[in-house]
Every structure is written in structure tokens, then in C-alpha cells.
Amino acid sequence: MTLNSERMRLIMRMRIGYGWAGSMNVLIQDIQTAQFLTHDNRWTKNPAEAENYGFSLTAHSAARMLNLQGYQILFYCPETHYQILIYSSEGTQPSPQSN
């Protein structure tokens, strides 16, 4: 199973188990400090204080406008504190190549 298919399986499980609307926040997190970006561009350790961008594209656009380096975008479920990494500015490991 590839990383993307595993990620989608987890997302679908969250959707079925906890409902989709309103239960997942889209957050920006600093990779080194593990702090989350707030609505007034401060950093906080508390994900409940973080800005919810609603969509990963909105979060990515905000990070680019702020010239952030070393960040990741997460789905965050406040009810369970579960996080799913959906993007890292530092990239991911390449998939093994098939012969």
C-alpha cells in the first residue's frame, strides 16, 4: 500500500467514525518547534488556538504568502487530538522505483 493510499484510508476512517463536517481542522505547524500558526501570525503549542484554514490549499497559500520555511500542513481532529500530515515543505521520501 502506498503512502497516499494509506493516508486516504485513514482520512476515510476518520470521516466515517467521527463525521466530516466541522470535525477536521486544517493547521500549519512549524516542523522544528511543533508549534501551530494562529490567526494573528503568532505561534502556539496549543492546536485549539491555531488558525483553521479549512482547506489545505488555503493553508498552503497562507504559508507561501508569509514566506514560511520548514512547515507542514495537518488535518487535526479536536475531538480526538488525532493529526494526519498532508503536506511537508521539506518534502517526503521518494517512492521505491519498480523495475
**Cβ–Cβ < 8 Å for 89, 69:** yes
Cell representation of residue 78: 479536536
Nine cell digits for residue 1 = 500500500
Torsion-angle region of 60 (φ positive above 0: left; ψ -120 to 50: alpha; else: beta): alpha
**pLDDT (tens digit, 9 = 90+) per residue, 19-58?**
444 578 999 999 999 999 999 999 999 999 999 999 999 9
Chain segment 72-97, per-residue pLDDT in tens = 999 999 988 899 999 999 875 433 44
Look up the pTM and report it. Answer: 0.71
Residue-by-residue DSSP string for 35-79: -EE-TTS-EES-GGGS---SSHHHHHHHHHHTT--SEEEEEEETT
Q: At 68, is the pLDDT very low, low, confident or very high (cuts 50, 70, 90)?
A: very high
